[in-house]
């Protein structure tokens, strides 16, 4: 058994039988093309690939690390897309393995509406004049609104021009940094990141409170910017709101252009669904498309999940997708999202977002940011799970249910009077319900 198969086997133990049969079983591991940076798995189609990517890839990365002690990035892709990439890489020796961009993230596949028009125009113009118009370009907005897609669209344009493009998340950048420090090969790390033509860094908010990597990133930024190389960054919020960032970095993030993406309005959602159906050869009638667009409020990734589920169900059960069937599947999906949530998942997500330890949320600590994090966690747990007040009291280390009830009262006051608090709660609730 190769390592890829071992990972799939281990994953099988952690997920439901249905999930395994429907999705994971369809994956194949490519031991030849996988490297110490990337573990490459093939899915039979893009929908299954996207679904596995959003639901299971971080679990798979975790399993890899447990088994091999190496932090790899798991790529779920289609067979011919890697073949194409690899042959391109051979042709253009400048291309980097790190730039494994999703080939379907293109401008053509990106539906533009009022909500994302500004960001789209900004990325598009950068893609036409690398390093010359907005540098850096900083895109921010909520989960699943198309930041990565847009950023990679520019990446694909650059890559097709033969430029060396690095696409990385902050997490991968940090892992690579740690590995090179450990192996005493920092010169190679710096050579790689400071000499590329285009650097795309996703989810920059995770730099928050990580001083070492901020310092390294600062120098990378300076080197690239100084050489007129294009930098594109994304985050879930405006640079000013990220917090825990060195002043010099924060101000540099605003040097070029900061563009936001808002949740798509109904027409844009409809256009997105139509586009996804076309790409994935799923046939849906107008009324079904309208229904899905109305029910799913904003997260586009969730729309893809629904389509993939509809498609899979209809194939398995040999039925056509009609409105009634769609309603059942959607109801299922929404309930499933909630049912899977546990107190642990919620506190972990809150802790991660606010850069504290989950255990601190449940501790007796009274510092301002702990109280803040605890309030948010309690509120979301109460909203999204079936736990009773005594259960919550026990979990959060509070005296009894009256303590929880006081806290909830306080939170409701804040929700009415403190706009920032309200936005934070909404943002985290969205994040939590969409990743579950
Ligand atoms: P983010 O990085 O903002 O969390 P992604 O870029 O990963 O979001 O987008 C989530 C999914 O939704 C992707 O598969 C992407 O292709 C799709 N998507 C988001 N916005 C659009 C859009 N305007 N048109 C087409 N697809 C979109
Ligand atoms: Mg993203």
CATH 3.20.20.70 fits 117-261, yes or no: no
Integer angstrom CA distances of residue 139 from 234, 265, 313 = 5, 19, 36
In 3-state terms, what secondary structure has residue 389? helix
- What does the domain layout of the chain look like in residue ranges? 3-94, 117-261, 266-337, 343-435
152 Cβ closer than 6 Å to some ligand 1 atom: no
Q: What does the pLDDT read at residue 95?
A: 37
> pLDDT (tens digit, 9 = 90+) per residue, 175-190?
989 999 999 999 999 9
CB of 145 shorter than 6 A to ligand 1: yes
Angle between helices 186-194 and 211-226 (to 10 degrees): 50
Q: What is the pLDDT of residue 99?
A: 47
Give me ligand 2 centre to Cα 59, in Å.
17
Is the CB of 272 inside a 6 Å radius of any atom of ligand 1? yes
Q: Is the beta carbon of 147 within 6 A of some atom in ligand 1?
A: yes
Q: What pLDDT was estimated at residue 19?
A: 86
* H or E stretch at 39: strand 38-42
* Ligand 1 contact, 374 CB (< 6 A): no
CATH of domain 343-435: 1.10.1750.10
- DSSP-assigned states of every residue in 84-147: HHHHHHHH-TT--GGG---TT--STT----TTTHHHHHHHHHHHHSTTTSSSSEEEEESTTSSH
Q: What is the DSSP string of 188-208?
A: HHHHHHHS-SEEEEE-GGGGT
Give the CATH number of domain 266-337; options: 3.30.465.10, 1.10.8.60, 3.40.50.720, 3.30.410.10.
1.10.8.60
Q: Which of 124, 152, 301 has most ligand 1 atoms within 8 Å of its beta carbon, as the pocket-test mutant? A: 301
What are the C-alpha distances in Å from 357 to residues 53, 203, 347, 352, 409?
26, 19, 9, 7, 25
pLDDT digits (tens, 9 = 90+) for 282-336: 888 999 999 888 888 767 888 888 888 888 877 777 778 888 888 888 877 777 7
Task: Give the pLDDT means over successive 10-residue stretches in the chain (436 positions).
Answer: 89 87 91 86 89 89 78 86 55 43 91 95 94 93 93 95 92 90 91 93 93 94 95 95 92 94 92 90 88 82 84 79 84 73 92 91 91 95 88 93 93 91 86 66
pLDDT of residue 84: 60
Give just the sign of the alpha carbon dihedral 390, 392, 395, 401. negative
pLDDT of residue 194: 92
Q: Which of 140, 382, 349 is nearest to 240 (CA)?
A: 140
Answer yes or no: is the C-beta of 123 below 6 A from any ligand 1 atom: no
Residues 6+ apart with CB under 8 A from 296: 269, 302, 303, 306
Put the strands of the sheet holding 38-42 in their side by side order. Answer: 28-29, 38-42, 73-77
Would you state the structure tokens that stand for residue 150, as one six-digit string? Answer: 């847009």
- In this prediction, residue 298 carries a pLDDT of 67
- The pTM of this model reads 0.66
**Which sign, positive or negative, has the C-alpha torsion 322, 326, 327, 332?**
positive
Place of tokens 């370009």: 137
Fold (topology level) of 3-94: GMP Synthetase; Chain A, domain 3 (3.30.300)
Phi-psi region of 244 (alpha: psi -120 to 50; beta: other; left: phi over 0): left
Distance between CA 340 and CA 328 in Å, rounded?
A: 18
Q: Is 56 close to ligand 1, i.e. is its CB under 6 Å away?
A: no
Pocket residue to mutate for ligand 1, from 109, 149, 274, most atoms within 8 A of Cβ: 149
Q: Within 13 Å, how many C-alpha atoms sit on residue 315's CB side?
A: 11
Residue 194 buriedness (CB in 10 A; 0-12 / 13-18 / 19+)? middle
CA of 412 to the centre of ligand 2 (A): 31
The alpha-helical segments, DSSP class H, found in 296-357 are: 300-317, 323-339, 343-354
Please give the pLDDT value at position 83. 60
Phi, psi of 138, rounded to the nearest 5 degrees: -120, 115
Residue 140 Cα to ligand 2 middle (Å): 10
- Among residues 73, 53, 92, 78, which one has the least CA distance to residue 197? 92
Q: Which ligand is nearest to the CA of 146?
A: 1
Q: Is 176 in the pocket of ligand 1 (CB under 6 A)?
A: no
């Amino acid at each position: 058994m190769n390592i890829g198969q071992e990972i799939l086997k281990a994953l099988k133990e952690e997920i439901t039988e249905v999930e395994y049969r429907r999705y994971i079983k369809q994956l194949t591991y490519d031991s030849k093309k996988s490297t110490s940076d990337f573990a490459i798995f093939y899915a039979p189609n893009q929908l299954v690939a996207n679904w596995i990517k959003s639901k299971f890839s971080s679990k798979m990365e975790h399993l890899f690390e447990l088994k091999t002690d190496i932090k790899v990035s798991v790529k779920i892709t289609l067979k011919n897309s890697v073949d194409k990439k690899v042959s391109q890489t051979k042709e253009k020796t400048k291309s980097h393995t790190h730039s494994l961009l999703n080939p379907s993230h293109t401008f053509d596949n990106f539906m533009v509406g009022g909500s994302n028009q500004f960001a789209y125009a900004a990325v598009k113009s950068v893609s036409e004049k690398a390093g010359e118009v907005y540098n850096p370009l900083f895109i921010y907005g909520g989960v699943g609104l198309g930041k990565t897609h847009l950023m990679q669209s520019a990446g694909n344009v650059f890559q097709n021009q033969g430029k060396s493009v690095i696409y990385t998340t902050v997490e991968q950048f940090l892992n690579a940094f740690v590995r090179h420090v450990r192996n005493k090969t920092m010169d190679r790390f710096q050579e790689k990141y400071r000499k590329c033509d285009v650097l795309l860094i996703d989810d920059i908010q995770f730099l928050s409170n990580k001083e070492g990597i901020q310092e390294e990133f600062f120098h990378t930024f300076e080197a690239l910017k100084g050489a007129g190389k294009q930098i594109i960054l994304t985050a879930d919020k405006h640079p000013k709101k990220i917090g825990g960032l060195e002043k010099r970095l924060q101000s540099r993030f605003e040097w070029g252009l900061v563009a936001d993406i808002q949740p798509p309005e109904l027409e844009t959602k409809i256009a997105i669904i139509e586009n996804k159906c076309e790409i994935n050869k799923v046939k849906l009638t107008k009324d079904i498309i309208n229904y899905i667009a109305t029910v799913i409020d904003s997260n586009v990734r969730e729309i893809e999940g629904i389509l993939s589920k509809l498609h899979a169900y209809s194939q398995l059960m040999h039925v056509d997708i009609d409105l009634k069937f769609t309603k059942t599947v959607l109801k299922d999906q929404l309930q499933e999202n909630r049912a899977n949530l546990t107190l642990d998942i919620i506190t972990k997500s809150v802790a991660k977002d606010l850069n504290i330890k989950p255990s601190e949320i449940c501790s007796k600590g009274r510092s301002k940011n702990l109280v803040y994090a605890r309030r948010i966690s309690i509120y979301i747990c109460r909203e999204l799970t079936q736990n009773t007040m005594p259960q919550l009291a026990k979990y959060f280390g509070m005296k009894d249910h009256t303590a929880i009830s006081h806290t909830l009262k306080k939170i409701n006051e804040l929700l009415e009077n403190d706009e920032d608090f309200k936005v934070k709660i909404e943002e985290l609730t969205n994040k939590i319900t969409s990743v579950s």
